[in-house]
Amino acid sequence: MFKRFYSLQTALLLHELSFILLVLITVSAGGVWSVFWQQNSAESLRIGSMNTTVQNVRGELYRQLKEVFDASFLHDNDAIDEYQSYTGTITQELKTLNSLSSDEQEQRAIRDVSKAYRDFYEQTVVLFRSESLGVEQQQLLDHDLEQETFAQLELAFTTLEQLLTSKQQLLTDSRARWSKTLIWLALVPLLIAISLLLVARRFVRGNVVRPLSDVIDGAKLISKGDLDHDIPLVGVTELVKLSEAINTMASDLVSSRDRLVETKKQAAMGDLVPLVAHNIRNPLAGIRAASQVAIDDEIPGHTKDTLSDIIVAVDRLERWVTSLLSYLHPMKPHLSATTLKDIADNALLLIELQLVDKSITLKRLGWEGAAKTVQLDGHLFEQAVFNLAQNALEASKAGDVITLQYKQSDDALSLTIIDQGLGLIFDPLSEQPLNGDVKRLSCGLGIPFAQKIIKQHGGTLTYRKGSNGGTAVEIKLMLPS
């Protein structure tokens, strides 16, 4: 089930994804710590601000109480203004405390401080209304204000300060716990990185390095001639495919070696063919000449037909011998300016009588406009077109139509010969029959000869089934840009 992960590309992808995961874990741990630190710092600053504000309120309260004594005992005329100034400051500080609070417990402690201050204010503000203190007022300053009201104020302040101190301690403890946790979190990416390194090292050694060494050693043995050596099919998918390809190549080399021996034999035969062709042509020429001389109006009709058949057979054998010699020897095209339509017309002149004899119609399409001029060897190309047209003629029966279709564009020319015969009965490349044991086209080497000529002119020759049966043979030439 893990074979699909044995691809080098998949392994690299998993390796990259693992390191991306490692980076994400590290970034996440850092992000969580950063968020926590920011929140902890913000909370610590808030509590510190509240502590500072509480101390400010307490300081202002004592200064306000001093103004009460200055006004009562020293008869300070500015004491009332200073008193009211401190009142405004304390009121504003209490509002600030309330805005800094974050939960109901803090707000309740702040309300207690505010209530105790209001009681203090109500008891002290009346002292400014009389010029001298009576017994009751002295008792107020001495007992009620100092022992009760101030005691309530101190209790409220102490409660709030203890609450803030408790929260500050919780923050300190939380920061300490997170610091310890961060140490362990920092080890996680390190452990993952070490694990990935060990796994990757083992995977690369077992599935890349060793199999690659086997491939190199096997390739050396094969290059030295040991074509029977098989490279083990192990490792990642890419190396397995490479090993299969090298093993297949070695097997193909064995076959190629056998074919090379056969090719050398055929090359030797190629040297013998011209001699044999020469010895065949001389008797053929004599037979044809004798048959042509023997044809006379005074001989019987069946004898005349026999002599005509002999001449036709000799001409066919002569074409075969000529095609064979042309195919076996290199050809060098002599280029000149011409058109593909003119070449086709000249080639078709050679089969006009045969077309009439078999009652076959020749149809030309695309002959209306002017054809583009190209550089071709007219004689060789006429031979190629003649061979293809001769094949179409021999594949056709009486009453059929052979169509020649010419097309041209800005970058290419094409000439297609379409017959209505039985269709393509053999593969022109492998020259193997497609429909079992069938008779080959009578032109013999006509198609290979045409392929050779067209290829020398930079063109292509393709075969396909006709739309209404038969075979369509297309010659295509690319125009220079």
Token pair for 38: 């920011």
pLDDT at 326 over 80: no
Which of 337-351, 371-385, 424-438 is the least confident region?
424-438
Per residue in 105-114, pLDDT tens? 989 999 998 9
* Residue 121, Cβ density class (10 Å: 0-12 exposed, 13-18 middle, ≥19 buried): middle
Side chain identity at 406, as an amino acid letter?
Answer: Y
Of the pLDDT bands very low, low, confident and very high (cuts 50, 70, 90), residue 405 is very high
Per residue in 187-216, pLDDT tens? 777 787 788 778 777 877 877 788 888 888
* CA neighbor of 344 nearest in space, from 392, 450, 415: 415
pLDDT at 436 over 60: no
Per residue in 6-33, pLDDT tens? 666 776 777 777 778 777 777 777 777 7
Q: What is the mean pLDDT of residues 124-150?
A: 60
The answer to whether 3-200 and 332-478 have equal CATH topology is: no
Position with higher pLDDT, 363 vs 439: 363
Q: What is the mean pLDDT of residues 304-318?
A: 77
CATH fold label, 332-478: Heat Shock Protein 90 (3.30.565)
Mean pLDDT of the chain: 79
For 479: left if phi > 0, alpha if psi spans -120 to 50, otherwise beta; the answer is beta
pLDDT at 310 over 70: yes
Element spanning 45, H or E: helix 8-73
The structural domains of the chain, with segments of one domain joined by +, span: 3-200, 237-305, 332-478
CATH fold label, 3-200: Four Helix Bundle (Hemerythrin (Met), subunit A) (1.20.120)
Position with higher pLDDT, 49 vs 422: 49
Q: Give DSSP secondary structure letters for 274-317.
A: HHHHHHHHHHHHHHHHHHHHH--TTS-HHHHHHHHHHHHHHHHH
pLDDT value, residue 338: 92
pLDDT at 122 over 60: yes
pLDDT at 263 over 70: no
Q: Which residues contact 465 (CB under 8 A, 6 or more apart)?
A: 423, 424, 471, 472
pLDDT at 146 over 70: no
Of all residues in the chain, what percent carry a pLDDT higher than 90? 15
Q: What is the mean pLDDT of residues 212-224?
A: 84
Per residue in 39-72, pLDDT tens? 888 888 988 899 999 989 888 888 888 887 777 6
SS3 31: helix
Q: What is the mean pLDDT of residues 168-173?
A: 88
